[in-house]
Amino acid sequence: MLFTSSGTILFDAARMNNLETIDLGKNGDNNNAVTLSLADVLGLSSTSGGTGISAGGDDIDLFIFGDDQGEVRDDVNLSGGWTANGTVTTSVVTGSETTFNLYVASGVQVAVQQGLDQLVA
């Protein structure tokens, strides 16, 4: 899913499913954000089957990337008991070598592009 507007994406499992990536947009300094609870990601991962990429022995269920340049960076807010699980670097998702921070909770793993503002709990 590519987010081309500005503001915050509030996830709604009834309207969004089968997502493997969330692209908050690049080079626009829109200060976009996505807010996902553990329940949101669990609902999403049960319908998508994952990204086909693994790290640390676990499948990555969702990649989130966006504008990591300048003073205004995109925000990622994850809630629901996530713990850091290392990093992974790949060019498959964005088309260029990008490093992602990995977070895991209740059997799902989310990869968030380094450089984005991240609030994880």
Higher model confidence: residue 49 or residue 64? 64
The reply to whether 1 falls in a domain is: no
Question: Alpha helix (H) ranges present in 1-121?
Answer: 38-48
The reply to whether 21 falls in a domain is: yes
- 48 backbone dihedrals φ, ψ, rounded to 5°: -90, -30
Count of beta carbons in the 10 Å neighbourhood of residue 17: 12
Counting the structural domains of the chain, the total is: 1
Mean pLDDT of 4-27: 68
The reply to whether 89 falls in a domain is: yes
The reply to whether 13 falls in a domain is: yes
Count of beta carbons in the 10 Å neighbourhood of residue 45: 22
The reply to whether 70 falls in a domain is: yes
Contact by Cβ (8 Å): 91, 63? no
pLDDT at 115 over 90: no
What does the pLDDT look like over 23-40, one tens digit per residue?
887 766 567 888 889 988
What does the pLDDT look like over 61-105, one tens digit per residue?
889 888 776 666 788 999 999 999 999 999 988 889 999 999 999
Angstrom distance (rounded) from CA 37 to CA 32: 17
pLDDT of residue 22: 84
Confidence of residue 55 (pLDDT cuts 50, 70, 90): confident
The reply to whether 2 falls in a domain is: no
The reply to whether 31 falls in a domain is: yes
Mean pLDDT of 7-26: 69
Question: Domain range spanning residue 69?
Answer: 8-120
Higher model confidence: residue 2 or residue 63? 63
The reply to whether 46 falls in a domain is: yes
pLDDT of residue 12: 64
Q: What sign does the dihedral 95-102-8-27 (CA atoms) show? A: negative
